[in-house]
Amino acid sequence: MRGRLYRRIFFFLLLFIAVALALSAIASHLLLSEVVRTHVGGALTAHALALAGRLPEAGRPDAEQQAALESLAKSRGLHAALWGPDGRRLAFTDIDIPTPRPGTSGDEWLPSPSGPALAVALPDGRRLVVQPHRLPRPGRFLLAVLAVAALLAFASYPAARFVTRRLEKLEAGVRRLGAGDLSARVEVEGHDELASLAATFNQAAERLQALVDGQHRVLASASHELRSPLTRLRMGLELAREDADTAGPRLAEAVAEVKEIDSLVEELLIAGRLELQRPDTVEPVDVGELLAAEAARTGASVVAGCAPFLGDSRLLRVLLRNLLENARRHGLGSVVEAGVEPRPGASGGLLVWVADRGPGVPESERERIFEPFYRPPGHSEGRDGGVGLGLYLVRRIAAWYGGTATCLAREGGGTRFEVTLAETRAT
């Protein structure tokens, strides 16, 4: 762009200015000629006839006719020239006055570089040509046109640079972002399309930076989370190899560790999928039926009827399972209740809730528990404490379906999780 686009814009503006001024000059010339003919013509004809009546008779010496013509033309503010019947110029006040065309009779308008002139036929065969003093000279008009063109050209260059400079800033931001500088942003100037483009670029850059930062955090935490079960798995297998009597229980523990690793990897894959793209599977799903099936696995009490929804049944199952497992794990053996119902006050969507009578979540922790791999103080790692991705996935899945996930204090003690799914339900 640099060194090319602004020049193309500048030359285009120059071409536009040249064409506009040329058309204006032609229109002005035609308009001026018409004005002279219609408004000046009558007065000029009267002046010509008055001048002709006071000229010396035909056949008088040329010097006498020259002196008389100069005096009379000057008194009336005219340029004039007198031609004989033979086409010879007898007298004149300005050499630029046009010559009458031979073989014509009567009055006629004659074009000339200095403006239109009127030729009047005298009774004795002579031709008198008169032209006003004060008609604008084409040369001056041309100079004025050129001056205006130069002024507009001078003003169009900074205008072209103003537009392209903002594009160059945007290009520099894109180059920085493409080179790996995720903090690259561009200044939003004005309120036009370029400003909207710059704002869109900044939003995309912020989104990209958030995605990359989130991936880094997830990968860093995942490496730590995978290390613990892998260490336990290795130690268990080594002990089983050394002591054949305890090999059975050790292998059972190893299988449990493998299941934990498999669960963590699956949740990491789902988290990565949600970060990079929107779920592309859309099918009618009965969320109430899914909730009842998952509640049967955890022993939760369900209050749910038919709750149709358009979405990915696998992701919705992960959302419900994680909510129920979280309540079972942290409810300290209390009864877990769950339900799904239409969103109150909304034209579509669902509200899913899961509640327990556990110790509850402190207000300061109610947002942090949705962060990946975060565990409230006092909660252990491993199979009993979970891997810290369940609630993170719940919020991410809800967000993809236009909803939210919140943690609330339950009246009478305990915790209540509410998840809204705001997309249009199936019919």
Residues 131 and 31 in one domain: yes
Nearby residues of 413 by Cβ (< 8 Å), 6 or more positions away: 357, 360
pTM of the model: 0.49
In this predicted structure, what is the pLDDT of residue 426?
Answer: 44
Q: Does some domain include residue 149?
A: no
> What are the tens digits of pLDDT across the range 16-35?
777 777 777 676 666 666 66
Q: Does some domain include residue 167?
A: no
- Report the interhelical angle of 247-276 vs 193-242 (nearest 10°): 170
> Starting at the edge strand that comes first in sequence, how are the strands of the sheet with 350-356 ordered?
301-304, 337-342, 350-356, 415-421, 405-409
Which CATH number do you get for residue 222?
1.10.287.130
> What are the tens digits of pLDDT across the range 387-399?
567 888 899 889 8
**pLDDT average, residue stretch 170-189:** 82
**pLDDT average, residue stretch 110-134:** 80
Residues 271 and 291 in one domain: no
**pLDDT average, residue stretch 140-148:** 70
Q: How many CA atoms lie within 13 A of 354 on its CB side?
A: 31
Residues 246 and 289 in one domain: no
Residues 332 and 251 in one domain: no
Run of H or E residues at 238: helix 193-242
In this predicted structure, what is the pLDDT of residue 353?
Answer: 94
For CA atoms 190, 191, 192, 198, the dihedral sign is: positive
As a whole number of Å, the end-to-end CA separation of the chain is 52
127 pLDDT higher than 90:
no
Q: Does some domain include residue 168?
A: no
Residues 384 and 358 in one domain: yes
In this predicted structure, what is the pLDDT of residue 427?
Answer: 42
> How would you label 29-60 residue by residue, b for 16+ Cβ within 10 Å and e otherwise?
eeebeeebeeebbeebeebbeebbeebbeeee
Determine contact, residues 254/233, Cβ cutoff 8 Å: yes
CA dist., res. 21 & res. 166, Å (int): 30
CA dist., res. 198 & res. 167, Å (int): 9
228, 262, 277 - which closes a domain: 277
What's at 80, amino acid-wise?
A
408 pLDDT higher than 90:
yes
Q: Which residue has the tokens 């008055």?
A: 50
Which CATH number do you get for residue 24?
3.30.450
What percentage of the chain exceeds 70 in pLDDT?
69
Which CATH number do you get for residue 383?
3.30.565.10
277, 298, 316 - which closes a domain: 277
Better-scored residue on pLDDT, 203 or 408? 408
354 pLDDT higher than 70:
yes
Q: How many residues does the chain have?
A: 427
Which letter does DSSP use for residue 391 in this model? Answer: H
226, 261, 277 - which closes a domain: 277
Residues 193 and 254 in one domain: yes
Residues 242 and 307 in one domain: no
416 pLDDT higher than 50:
yes
Number of domains in the chain: 3
Measure Cα distances from 417 to 107, 265, 349, 353, 406 in Å. Answer: 102, 25, 17, 5, 6
262 pLDDT higher than 80:
no
Better-scored residue on pLDDT, 406 or 96? 406
Mean of the per-residue pLDDT values of the chain: 77
Residues 295 and 407 in one domain: yes
Residues 249 and 227 in one domain: yes
**pLDDT average, residue stretch 177-201:** 81
62 pLDDT higher than 60:
yes
Q: Does some domain include residue 359?
A: yes
Q: Does some domain include residue 160?
A: no
What's at 394, amino acid-wise?
V
CA dist., res. 44 & res. 42, Å (int): 5
> What are the tens digits of pLDDT across the range 215-231?
666 665 566 556 666 77
Q: Does some domain include residue 427?
A: no
What's at 323, amino acid-wise?
L
CA dist., res. 306 & res. 311, Å (int): 15
Residues 248-256: contacts with CB under 8 Å, at least 24 apart: 256/383
Q: Does some domain include residue 41?
A: yes
Residues 299 and 411 in one domain: yes
137 pLDDT higher than 60:
no
> What are the tens digits of pLDDT across the range 263-313?
666 666 666 666 655 556 678 999 999 999 999 888 899 987 788 898 888
**pLDDT average, residue stretch 369-384:** 65
Residues 251 and 201 in one domain: yes
Domain limits at 224? 185-277
Run of H or E residues at 92: strand 89-92
From 329, 312, 285, 339, select the one nearest 398 (Cα to Cα): 312
Q: Does some domain include residue 385?
A: yes
418 pLDDT higher than 90:
yes
Better-scored residue on pLDDT, 273 or 181? 181
367 pLDDT higher than 70:
yes
In this predicted structure, what is the pLDDT of residue 186?
Answer: 84
Residues 398 and 294 in one domain: yes
Strand 283-286 relative to strand 117-121: parallel, antiparallel, unpaired? Answer: unpaired
